[in-house]
Amino acid sequence: MKYLSRKKVIFLSLITVLVLFFFFLSSIVKCYIERNSMELIGRKLVIADLHFNYAKVSARVNGFKLYEQNGKNEFLSFNELYVNISPWKLISGEYSISQIHLDGLKLSVEQNTNGFNFDDLLATDITATDSIDSNKEDSSLKFSIYDIKFKNGYITYHDKLKSNNLDLNKINLELPLIAWNNKKSEMGVNFSLGEEGVVSINANVNHAKQRYIVNLGVKSVDVSPFVAYLKDYMLVSEVQGKLNTQIKINGSMINFMDVFLKGNTEMNDFSLKDTDGKKFLASQSVSVELDSINLNSSHYEIGKISLLKPEVYAALFKETNNFESIFAPVLKADSVNVETDTSMHSDSELFYSIDSISVNKGFVEFSDYTLNRKFVYDINDIQLNIGKITDQANKIPLNYSIDLNRGGHSKGKMTFSLQNAHDFKFNGKVEGLELMSFSPYTEFYIARPITQGEFNYDCSIVMQPKQLVNTNKINISEFDFGDKTKDPNTIKAPVRLALYLLKDKNDQINFDLPVSGNPKDPDFKLGKIIWKTVMNFLLKTATKPFGILGSLTGTNPESIQEMTFKYSQTKLNEKEIKTLRAIADIIARKPELKFSFTQETDSEAEKDILVISECSKLYFNSSEQQKLEIFGADFISWAEGNNDFKEFNKQDDFQITLPLKEKFYNLFGNLKLNTLLDSVLTERNKEVAIFLKDSLQVPTDNFELKTADLRNLSNQQKKPKYRVEVSLK
Task: Report DSSP letters for 197-261, one per residue.
Answer: EEEEEEEEEETTTTEEEEEEEEEEEE-GGGHHHHTTT--EEEEEEEEEEEEEEEEESS-TT-EEE
Q: Which residues make beta-bridge pairs with 271?
A: 240, 282
Single pTM value for the model: 0.68
Backbone angles phi, psi at 677, to 5 degrees: -65, -50
pLDDT for 653 equals: 46
Q: Select from 352, 350, 355, 375 the least CA-distant residue to 365.
A: 375
Angstrom distances, CA of residue 519 to CA of 74, 80, 389, 525:
69, 74, 23, 8
pLDDT average per 10 residues of sequence, the chain (729 residues) = 56 57 67 85 88 79 90 90 80 77 90 86 54 46 78 84 74 71 65 78 80 91 84 89 94 86 94 92 95 85 95 94 88 57 55 92 95 94 94 88 91 89 89 91 86 90 84 86 80 70 77 73 64 66 70 77 88 92 90 92 84 65 58 61 61 44 64 85 94 94 92 87 87
Angstrom distances, CA of residue 611 to CA of 100, 615, 632, 710:
127, 6, 12, 19
pLDDT for 397 equals: 94
DSSP 691: I
> With 0-12 CB in 10 A as exposed, 13-18 as middle and 19+ as buried, what is 209?
exposed
CA–CA separation, 245 and 567 (whole Å): 93
pLDDT for 484 equals: 83
C-alpha count within 13 angstroms, C-beta hemisphere, residue 72: 1
CA–CA separation, 167 and 366 (whole Å): 37
CA–CA separation, 387 and 390 (whole Å): 10
